[in-house]
């Protein structure tokens, strides 16, 4: 067994132990945490406190999977879309780990006064996502990188796989953002008072996977001139795609206006700006992929 | 007027060089080489000169002006 495969196995085992512990703790604690319980018992407190390091280990495994996914990009020749989906799901599942902690905290504070059933269901749902991602990661990360080239060295040398996958991730994030924006348009879904924070939250979640990869790119390339990040055709494709994205944003403005006039929504600035931004992002990334479609 | 090229022919004369090998030699992506070869992308002067350097030929022996049908017999072929 190679060093990398041994490392994969150790990480996977630790993550699954963490998830198994968390799930067991939830199942034990949930029936005991009833409004009549004035103060959580010592056992409940212990189980709750141990959940934090367990989720931390799962979070580290997510980070490991993300790094592995980035490293395997340069050697890929096809299947960019599915690899992008994999990266997006790891990033979102990692973000949901923070939600797990918030939900646990909410449950601890509110169980005496309010029903916390929905929080528990969300917790189980997110745990299901973590299990799915860790399972996929455990299987997928057994593949070692074909080329021992760092991701952004590969980008600098004009690697197709990295360039196209980046835009696939952008496309997925853009589509998620459009769906989030449209779903939260009708005023009866989220009341006016909470609609702006709701839209900001959804925007942050939708952009998180893209932000991660862009941040990593910027950090790794900070000492290089921007002109060296992409090759000339990639720059040309990006320029054409930018024009397409901008045009799509302009054409979408009347659509936003029509939604307001039709009384579908009151459309605060954050909501219409969010929608326009995600339309622009989706069209931009889609245009780059379209111009590179024959590479796959 | 279309800019045609003899890239594919030259690659095969150069020990059947792959598009990826040529891309690595030029420091560009394989897609860029593919697009130039298919006549879908017109390279910059710098890249054209780099190509000439890789094949050891003058630029005008690699690229030439002409109609698409008679100029590029390898139009529909690729790696």
For the stretch A115-139, pLDDT in tens is 778 888 888 999 999 999 999 888 8
Minimum distance, in Å, between the CA of residue A238 and any CA atom of chain B: 13
> Cβ(A236)–Cβ(A139) under 8 Å?
no
The torsion angle over the Cα atoms of residues A244, A249, A255 and A260, rounded to 10 degrees, is: 170
Residues of A in contact with B48 (CB under 8 A): none
pTM listed for this prediction: 0.73
Cα–Cα dist A122/A145, whole Å = 35
Secondary structure class of A124 (helix, strand, coil): helix
pLDDT band of B65, cuts 50, 70, 90: confident
Interchain CB contact of A292 with B (< 8 Å): yes
The tens digit of pLDDT for each residue in A156-212 reads 555 677 778 888 999 999 998 888 887 776 665 556 566 677 778 888 888 888 888
Residues of A in contact with B35 (CB under 8 A): 233, 294
> Cβ(A286)–Cβ(A168) under 8 Å?
no
Which residue of B lies nearest to A231 if distances are taken between CA atoms? B28
> Cβ(B15)–Cβ(B76) under 8 Å?
no
- B41 with A163: Cβ contact below 8 A: no
> Cβ(A267)–Cβ(A260) under 8 Å?
yes
Q: Of B31, B46, B47, which is closest to A292 when you measure between CB atoms?
A: B31
> Cβ(A137)–Cβ(A212) under 8 Å?
no
The tens digit of pLDDT for each residue in A251-289 reads 988 887 787 777 666 666 677 788 888 999 999 999 999
Q: Is the confidence metric ipTM above 0.95 for this complex?
A: no
Identify the H or E element spanning A45.
helix A42-72
Question: Closest Cα to residue B64, out of B1, B16, B8?
Answer: B1
Phi then psi dihedrals of residue B4, to 5 deg: -95, 170
Half-sphere exposure of A199 (CA within 13 A, CB side): 28
Question: Closest Cα to residue A18, out of A139, A134, A140, A108?
Answer: A134
- B28 with A232: Cβ contact below 8 A: yes
Minimum distance, in Å, between the CA of residue A266 and any CA atom of chain B: 45
Q: For position A295, what pLDDT does the model report?
A: 43
- A232 with B23: Cβ contact below 8 A: no
Integer-rounded Cα Rg, in Å, for chain A is: 22
Both tokens of A69, joined, read 């996914």
- A295 with B30: Cβ contact below 8 A: yes
- Helices A192-221/A269-291 angle, 10° precision: 40
User: H helices then E strands: how many in chain A?
Assistant: 9, 0
Cα–Cα dist A29/A45, whole Å = 9
Which residue of A lies nearest to B26 if distances are taken between CA atoms? A157
Minimum distance, in Å, between the CA of residue A296 and any CA atom of chain B: 9
Cα–Cα dist A252/A181, whole Å = 13
Interface test with A, best of B31, B46, B51, B79 (most A CBs within 10 A): B31
> Cβ(A58)–Cβ(A18) under 8 Å?
yes
Residues of B in contact with A158 (CB under 8 A): 23, 27-29, 32
Which region among A92-96, A111-115, B66-70 has the lowest average model confidence (pLDDT)? B66-70
Residues recorded for chain A: 296
Q: In sequence order, what are the beta bridge partners of B64? A: B4
- A163 with B29: Cβ contact below 8 A: yes
Q: Which residues of B touch A (CB under 8 A)?
A: 23-24, 27-32, 34-36, 38, 41, 43-44, 46-47
Cα–Cα dist A20/B69, whole Å = 65
Which residue of A lies nearest to B47 if distances are taken between CA atoms? A232
Place of tokens 């659509």: A255
Identify the H or E element spanning A195.
helix A192-221
Question: Closest Cα to residue A147, out of B24, B22, B25?
Answer: B24
Sign of CA dihedral A76, A81, A209, B32: positive
């Amino acid at each position: 067994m190679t060093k990398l495969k041994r490392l994969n196995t150790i990480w996977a085992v630790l993550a699954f132990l963490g998830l198994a512990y968390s799930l067991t703790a939830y199942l034990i604690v949930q029936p005991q945490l009833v409004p009549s319980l004035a103060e959580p018992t010592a056992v409940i407190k212990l189980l709750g406190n141990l959940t934090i390091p367990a989720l931390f280990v799962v979070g580290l495994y997510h980070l490991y999977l993300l790094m592995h996914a980035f490293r395997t990009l340069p050697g890929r020749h096809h299947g960019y879309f599915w690899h992008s989906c994999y990266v997006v799901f790891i990033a979102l599942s990692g973000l949901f780990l923070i939600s797990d902690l918030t939900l646990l905290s909410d449950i601890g504070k509110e169980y005496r006064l309010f029903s916390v059933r929905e929080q528990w269901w969300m917790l189980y749902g997110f745990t299901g996502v973590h299990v799915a991602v860790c399972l996929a990661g455990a299987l997928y990360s057994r593949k070692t990188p074909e080329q021992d080239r760092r991701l952004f060295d590969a980008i600098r040398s004009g690697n197709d796989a990295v360039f196209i996958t980046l835009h696939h991730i952008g496309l997925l994030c853009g589509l998620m953002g459009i769906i989030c924006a449209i779903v939260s348009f009708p005023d009866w879904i989220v009341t006016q008072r909470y609609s702006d924070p709701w839209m900001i939250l959804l925007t942050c979640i939708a952009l998180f996977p893209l932000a991660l990869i862009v941040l990593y790119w910027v950090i790794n390339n900070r000492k290089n001139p921007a002109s060296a990040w992409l090759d000339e055709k990639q720059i040309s494709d990006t320029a054409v795609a930018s024009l397409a994205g901008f045009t799509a944003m302009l054409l979408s403005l009347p659509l936003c206006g029509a939604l307001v006039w039709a009384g579908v929504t009151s459309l605060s600035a954050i909501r219409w700006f969010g929608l326009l931004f995600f339309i622009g992002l989706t069209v931009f990334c889609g245009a780059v992929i379209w111009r590179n479609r024959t590479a796959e | 007027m279309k800019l045609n090229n003899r890239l594919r022919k030259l690659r095969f004369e150069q020990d059947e060089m792959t598009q990826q090998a040529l891309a690595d030699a030029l420091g560009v992506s394989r897609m860029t080489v593919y697009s130039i070869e298919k006549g879908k992308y017109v390279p910059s002067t710098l890249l054209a000169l780099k190509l000439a350097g890789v094949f050891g030929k003058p630029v005008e022996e690699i690229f030439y002006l002409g109609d698409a049908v008679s100029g590029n017999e390898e139009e529909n072929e690729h790696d």
